[in-house]
Amino acid sequence: MGSTVYWDTSALLKIYAAETDSSDYLKLLISQPGDIAVSYLHRVELYYALCGKETRGEIQAGAAKTLFASFESHIADQRYWEIPWGSDVLEEAQSALDVSLSSSPPIGLRTLDGLHLGAMLAAKVTTLVTADNRMRDAAAGLRITCVNP
């Protein structure tokens, strides 16, 4: 799998719901020469994030389901490569936490971030797009390259 890049939900959200820097992330997505990887976790986390935006009035009423349906159609159309989940993802997520906690200073890796990193590591993907600073810190400790728009 050529130059596969994993898109964390914090970055992917900017593609489906307009934020101040969404155009930068869209340009990065369009210019990506290889595969865009996501994991099964995106199916839950992106839906929650879109619904949160709708509840806060950041997107129009009813938009969350429409935007999420667009994401699911992109998965079905294979615009994204969805990393399969198995025990390897869980093992890598645990290892990511061990590395994060042993760094100096320790990085408090959140559960969902650990699962994203575990999916990446299990799939041997070493490049990440994220808008989350804590995720960037944890990725650096795992020798994962972070790409910013």
All domains of the chain in start order, with CATH: 5-147 (3.40.50.1010)
Do the Cβ atoms of 80 and 105 come closer than 8 Å? no
Which pLDDT band, with edges at 50, 70 and 90, does 5 fall under? Answer: very high
Task: Using the CB atoms, write b or e for 108-123: b if 16+ within 10 Å.
Answer: ebeebbbbbbbbbbbb
Do the Cβ atoms of 8 and 129 come closer than 8 Å? yes
The answer on pLDDT for 1 being more than 50 is no
In this prediction, residue 32 carries a pLDDT of 86
By C-alpha distance, which of 53, 45, 52 is closest to 71?
45
Do the Cβ atoms of 45 and 112 come closer than 8 Å? yes
**Residue 130 amino acid letter:** T
Predicted structure pTM score: 0.91
